[in-house]
Structure 1
């Protein structure tokens, strides 16, 4: 269902992205940006593989991730560089404009891509991520979150782990926090076993030189673009609070939030049908040309809850 290839996106430094693409031709392209970083795209293939008859689905591994180019200097791993790679990827694939879905950390890179090259983005989906900064006290009083994240915290403090081994161990240990429904855990752990983890982005992060991924004034700047925007989120997300998606929908006139009940950070694994239904419904809407909100108009929250 997916064909894979290496696509050159930069000459200096030399960077090739490992890219999986659906084999059914379609005029509409959906560019999917994975999270992590230091993960790869494979954990997102399902249920997105069900869109391959309706979209040209493109799933790259970011630089330093998966089977894309590794071994770059630490300062070459930045959100801005990753967004630039993706614009170059669209050029290489002769894609003039794409629907863009960014998941988790990839949602922050997706915002950078849209702001840097809005003419290349038909619509934007921010999944399990946030347009707004996460307050330090966002999860205060949520005891279950503390319990579910305890194993991951222990992994990050283990001096015997480093690089890709640390990234993988942390991903596995965080499974109870990322997946809300216990019955969905086996599928999630199977996907983790298949991910090609790296530790490339971990180095600049630990050195304190990794730039902030979220663009400055993202909500205001995205509102000015007027791009159709879907904020797709699990109610029980323990990484980015669902309330921030609802708040952002009230600040961006072209945005709507869909909050899926009974789903955590990996909402596409907890509630795949509800997640995919929300995505396909959004992508099926006709494109709307906007130049931003009318002067003096305030954002009105457009949010709906998907029951468990």
Structure 2
């Protein structure tokens, strides 16, 4: 179903993006931006691929991730550079406007893309992410979250782990916090085991030199663009609190919320049918 290719998007530094795409309608492209950021796109292939009968699904690996160019200088890994790559990907394929879905950290990069080139974005889906900053006390008193995140915290403090092995171990340890329903956990782990993890973005992050992915005044700036926005979220998300979704909708007149019950951060794995329906309904509007 997927056609895989490398697409040059930058010459200085030289960057090729690895991209998987479907052969759906070229008139209805959907660009999907993964999170991590040191993950690849593959954990989002399902259920998005089910839209391929009427959409052209485009799933790139960001620079430094998956099968895209790695080994760049640390200062080449920035949210602004990643967003610029995506605009040039659209240019390379002569896509004037696309629907854009950004998941988790990719939701922040998708916002940057929309703000840098609003004329290129028809509709914006911010999935399991946030427009507003997460308050320091957002999860205070949520004991189950603390318990579910204990294993991941132990991985990050393990001195024997580094590089992609650390990224992979942390993702696997975080799985019980990222899906809400216990019955969804085995499927989530299977998906995670197939990811080509990297650690390119982790280096500047650990050094404290990675710029914030959150665009200043994002809510007001997105409101000014007039782009229709869907905030697609799980009620039990333990990374970005669902409460911020309702607050954001009040700030962006063109935004709406789809908060899915019994779903965590990996809402598309916890509740794939509800997640896909909310996505498809939104994108199908004129």
Instruction: State the TM-score, normalized to the length of structure 1.
Output: 0.92
CA distance in structure 1 between the partners assigned to 2:43 and 2:247 by the alignment? 28
Indicate the residue corresponding to 1:63 in structure 2.
63
Q: What do the CA deviations read for 1:58-115 (whole angstroms, capped 9, x no partner)? A: 0000000000000000000000000000000000111110000000000000000000
Residue of structure 2 equivalent to 1:169: 169
Supply the distance in 1 between the matched residues of 2:191 and 2:236 (Cα, whole angstroms). Answer: 20
1:229 alignment partner in structure 2: 229
Alpha-carbon distance in 2 for matches of 1:200, 1:263? 30
Equivalent in the alignment of 1:52: 52
1:246 Cα deviation after fit: 1.1
Residue of structure 2 equivalent to 1:41: 41
Other-structure match for 2:245? 245
> Distance between the aligned counterparts of 1:30 and 1:168, measured in 2?
27
* Deviation, structure 1 residue 242: 0.4
**1:282 alignment counterpart:** 282
What is the 5 A alignment of 1:261-300?
261-286=261-286
Distance in 2, matches of 1:210 and 1:125, equals: 24
Other-structure match for 2:127? 127
Q: 1:91 corresponds to which residue?
A: 91
Q: Separation in 2 of the partners of 1:5 and 1:135?
A: 40
Give CA deviations for 1:14-50 in whole Å, capped at 9, x if unaligned.
0000000002343110000000000000000000010
Distance, in Å, in 2 between the alignment partners of 1:177 and 1:102 is: 20
Whole-angstrom distance in 2 between the partners of 1:245 and 1:155:
30
Q: Which residue of 1 aligns with 2:178?
A: 178
Matched positions, count: 286
* Secondary structure of residue in 2 paired with 1:174: helix
Q: Contact conserved, 2:24 with 2:57, CA < 8 A, in 1?
A: no
| 2:151 is the alignment partner of 1:151 | yes
Structure 2, unmatched stretches of 5+, are none
**SS in structure 2 opposite 1:19?**
strand
| Paired residue secondary structure (1:15) | strand
Can you list the C-alpha shifts for 1:249-292, whole angstroms capped at 9, x where unaligned? 11100000110000000000000000000000000111xxxxxx
2:29 matched to 1:29? yes
State how far apart, in whole Å, the 2-side matches of 1:262 and 1:162 are: 34
* Displacement after TM superposition at 1:192 (Å): 0.6
Q: Distance in 2 between matches of 1:212 and 1:245?
A: 20
Contact 2:47–2:276 (Cα < 8 Å) also in 1: yes
2: distance between equivalents of 1:222 and 1:178?
27
Report the Cα offset of residue 228 of structure 1. 0.4
TM-superposed CA distance for 1:245, in Å, is 1.0
Q: Which residue of 1 aligns with 2:218?
A: 218
Q: CA deviation at 1:54?
A: 1.2
State whether structure 2 residue 3 is matched by structure 1 residue 3.
Answer: yes
> Is the counterpart of residue 195 in structure 1 residue 156 in structure 2?
no
Scaled by the length of structure 2, what TM-score is found?
A: 0.99
